[in-house]
């Protein structure tokens, strides 16, 4: 007979390579606290319904406290022969409290146990990540407030388009992370469902009280179907998709920071404490943190894809393939959490170079649309105004000057509707201030958006 907990029907010992190959303890040991919590809830419930005596349940709960302590102090060696965290905890419990420990697994399976542990762990990661995301949003709101009046050349197609408030640009990220936070909150509802009680797949012959366990563990619902309960990893795929979206947002942000800090842009500087140098080029200061965040996003996308492919071929119910869910999932949770946090630490030290941004906006004919809108207000249909301004831009470009430097006579030659008041319209400040409606870039609107965002953040 094999020495394994499940070894009764085995005539030969496990091949050593197989033992190492099938073990997951190096990855799932991080579920230790959740595993013990779940086991304690299960034991208490078994005590309440009379499957265990009250003193047996108490002994198990107390023994599990000791196991938790030993693991926290790194006193429990992890070995491949015990496969995973569930077996480590159970076997150590039995060493500590004796044969009563062998009763813990009554009416349950590792299949519903691991699903329970992973849901508990995911729930707490979501809560932590939400705090970090809120902090990042607050950092952006603060930055927006500081830079409301800073004028940035807004780009489309990477070409100068229209001037915008740098604060308005910051607030765009507040919205992106707001949707991310909402997605996580929504996913949390589907994470927070108790699988325990499904046992291996079909349920158990013991008179269990699943709602009692749910209440003890803070689950809002109990999984309806035992087969679904043990085989479902939708919550992992869903959270991974949400994490991917956050990673993509962070990557876009990182890309902007990298471009803006490059010499041809020169729009910003990042703090020395968040940049690194070159081993050969003494002059270098590189935005490596932003680059690594951009790079991490590729990994997170890969984690999502790995999980989707892991699930797509699996028949109901539990298959050992599922053991592979944790490494990628934990990786994505770790990478995204760290990226959000480090971004939140770096951004308060961002310095803008308003004069450089201004110069780029001025060189790029960023107020051409304002001139077209001006002509529309004087009665010209927009499409005709577009054509007039196009000619004005060509004219200015030939002389290598901005629209605001074109003499009035020359502008009037293009359209008699143009008057002295046009020069106000052609300023960057005038362009911003004119977009004065909900969602527009006028400083007044950006300030109002900041107030709304702060109120929203204070409520959450
Ligand atoms: N370690 C496994 C996992 O992570 C849980 C154990 C289920 N194993 C089993 N033979 N049914 O999914």
**pLDDT digit string (tens) for 70-98?**
999 999 999 999 999 999 999 999 999 99
Please report whether residue 1 resides in a domain.
no
Domains in the chain, number? 3
Ligand 1 center from residue 248 Cα (angstroms): 32
| pLDDT on residue 5 | 87
* Whether the CB of 84 sits within 6 Å of ligand 1: yes
Burial category of 143 from C-beta neighbours within 10 Å (exposed 0-12, middle 13-18, buried 19 and up): buried
Pick the atom of ligand 1 nearest to 83's CA: 1
Q: Are residues 141 and 127 in the same domain?
A: yes
Parallel, antiparallel, or unpaired: how do β-strands 159-165 and 151-156 relate?
Answer: antiparallel
Pick the atom of ligand 1 nearest to 24's CA: 1
Determine phi and psi for 15, rounding to 5 degrees.
Answer: -55, 140
Q: Are residues 84 and 117 in the same domain?
A: no
Ligand 1 center from residue 74 Cα (angstroms): 23
Which residues, 6 or more positions from 402, have their beta carbon under 8 angstroms from its beta carbon? 362, 363, 365, 396, 426
* Whether the CB of 325 sits within 6 Å of ligand 1: no
Tokens (6 digits) for 231: 């085989």
Residue bearing tokens 């799932």: 28
Task: Name the nearest CA neighbour of 43 among 245, 216, 288.
Answer: 216
Sign for the CA dihedral angle at 380, 383, 385, 388 comes to negative
Which of 309, 333, 352 is the C-terminal boundary of a domain? 352
Q: Are residues 145 and 247 in the same domain?
A: yes
Q: Are residues 245 and 372 in the same domain?
A: no
Pick the atom of ligand 1 nearest to 326's CA: 4
Ligand 1 center from residue 324 Cα (angstroms): 10
Which of 318, 352, 386 is the C-terminal boundary of a domain? 352
Stretches where the chain sits below pLDDT 50 are none
CA distance 44 to 53: 10
Containing domain of residue 94, as a range?
7-106
CA end-to-end span of the chain, whole Å?
57
* Whether the CB of 110 sits within 6 Å of ligand 1: yes
Q: Are residues 312 and 372 in the same domain?
A: no
- CA angle 353/356/360 to nearest 5° reads 140
Q: Are residues 84 and 128 in the same domain?
A: no
Please report whether residue 192 resides in a domain.
yes
- Catalytic positions: 157, 278
* Whether the CB of 88 sits within 6 Å of ligand 1: no
The torsion defined by the Cα of 63, 64, 65 and 68, in degrees rounded to 10, comes to 130
* For ligand 1, mutation pick of 80, 229, 320 (most atoms within 8 Å of CB): 320
CA distance 386 to 368: 9
Packed helices 325-346 and 288-312: angle between N→C axes, nearest 10 degrees: 160
Q: Are residues 160 and 293 in the same domain?
A: yes
Encode pLDDT of 245-274 as tens digits.
Answer: 999 999 999 999 999 999 999 999 999 999
Please report whether residue 2 resides in a domain.
no
CA distance 184 to 126: 7
H-only helix segments in 347-442: 354-363, 368-377, 382-399, 408-414, 422-425, 428-434
Q: Are residues 435 and 421 in the same domain?
A: yes
Pick the atom of ligand 1 nearest to 28's CA: 4
Please report whether residue 86 resides in a domain.
yes
CA distance 356 to 331: 40
Residue nearest to atom 6 of ligand 1 (CA): 110
Ligand 1 center from residue 22 Cα (angstroms): 9
What CATH number has the domain bearing residue 279?
1.20.200.10
* Whether the CB of 116 sits within 6 Å of ligand 1: no
Pick the atom of ligand 1 nearest to 6's CA: 10
Please report whether residue 89 resides in a domain.
yes
What CATH number has the domain bearing residue 15?
1.10.275.10
CB atoms inside a 10 Å sphere around CB 313: 8
Integer-rounded Cα Rg, in Å, for the chain is: 31
DSSP codes joined into one string, 311-363:
HHTPPSS--GGGGGHHHHHHHHHHHHHHHHHHHHHHGGG-EE-HHHHHHHHHH
Q: Residues for the chain: how many in total?
A: 460
Which residues, 6 or more positions from 351, have their beta carbon under 8 angstroms from its beta carbon? 268, 269, 270
Ligand 1 center from residue 5 Cα (angstroms): 13
| pLDDT on residue 3 | 81
Give the global pTM: 0.95
What CATH number has the domain bearing residue 367?
1.10.40.30
Sign for the CA dihedral angle at 291, 295, 296, 297 comes to positive
Parallel, antiparallel, or unpaired: how do β-strands 159-165 and 193-194 relate?
Answer: unpaired
Q: Are the C-beta atoms of 418 and 149 separated by less than 8 Å?
A: no
Which of 106, 123, 138 is the C-terminal boundary of a domain? 106
Residue nearest to atom 10 of ligand 1 (CA): 320
| pLDDT on residue 1 | 53
Ligand 1 center from residue 300 Cα (angstroms): 24
Q: Are residues 164 and 237 in the same domain?
A: yes
Parallel, antiparallel, or unpaired: how do β-strands 193-194 and 221-222 relate?
Answer: parallel
DSSP codes joined into one string, 259-312:
HHHSTTT--EE--GGG-B--SS-TT--B-HHHHHHHHHHHHHHHHHHHHHHHHH
Q: Are residues 62 and 167 in the same domain?
A: no
* Whether the CB of 137 sits within 6 Å of ligand 1: no
């Amino acid at each position: 007979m094999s020495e394994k907990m499940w070894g009764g029907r085995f005539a030969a010992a496990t091949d050593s390579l197989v033992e190492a190959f099938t073990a997951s303890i190096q990855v799932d040991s991080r579920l230790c606290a959740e595993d013990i919590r779940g086991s304690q809830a299960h034991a208490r419930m078994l005590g309440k319904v009379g499957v265990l005596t009250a003193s047996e349940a108490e002994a198990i709960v107390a023994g599990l406290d000791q196991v938790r302590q030993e693991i926290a102090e790194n006193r429990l060696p992890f070995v491949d022969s015990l496969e995973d965290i569930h077996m480590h905890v159970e076997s150590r419990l039995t060493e500590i409290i004796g044969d009563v420990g062998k009763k813990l697994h009554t009416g349950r399976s590792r299949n519903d146990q691991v699903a329970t542990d992973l849901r508990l762990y995911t729930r707490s990661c979501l809560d932590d990540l939400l705090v970090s995301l809120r902090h990042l949003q607050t950092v952006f709101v603060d930055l927006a407030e500081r830079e409301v009046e800073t004028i940035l050349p807004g780009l489309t197609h990477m070409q100068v388009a229209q001037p915008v408030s740098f604060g308005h640009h910051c607030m765009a990220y507040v919205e992106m992370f707001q949707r991310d936070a909402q997605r996580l909150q929504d996913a949390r509802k589907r994470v927070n469902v108790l699988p325990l009680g499904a046992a291996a797949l079909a349920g158990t012959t013991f008179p269990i009280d699943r709602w009692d366990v749910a209440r003890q563990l803070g689950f809002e619902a109990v999984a309806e179907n035992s087969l679904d309960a043990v085989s479902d990893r939708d919550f992992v795929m869903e959270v991974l998709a949400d994490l991917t979206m956050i990673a993509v947002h962070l990557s876009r942000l990182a890309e902007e920071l990298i471009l803006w800090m490059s010499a041809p842009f020169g729009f910003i500087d990042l703090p020395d404490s968040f940049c690194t140098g070159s081993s050969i080029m003494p002059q270098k200061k590189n935005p490596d943190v932003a680059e690594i965040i951009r790079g991490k996003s590729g990994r997170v996308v890969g984690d999502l894809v790995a999980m989707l492919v892991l699930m797509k071929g699996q028949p109901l119910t539990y298959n050992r393939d599922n053991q592979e869910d944790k490494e990628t999932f934990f990786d994505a949770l770790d990478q995204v959490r760290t990226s959000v946090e480090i971004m939140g630490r770096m951004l308060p030290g961002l310095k803008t170079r308003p004069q450089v941004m201004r110069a780029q906006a001025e060189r790029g004919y960023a107020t051409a649309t304002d001139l077209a809108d001006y002509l529309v207000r004087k009665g010209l249909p927009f499409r005709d105004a577009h054509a007039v301004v196009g000619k004005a831009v060509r004219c200015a470009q030939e002389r290598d000057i901005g629209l605001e430097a074109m003499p009035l006579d020359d502008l009037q030659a293009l359209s008699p509707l143009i008057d002295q008041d046009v020069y106000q319209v052609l300023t960057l400040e005038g362009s911003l201030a004119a977009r004065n409606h909900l969602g527009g870039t006028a400083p007044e609107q950006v300030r109002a958006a900041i107030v709304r965002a702060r109120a929203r953040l204070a409520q959450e």
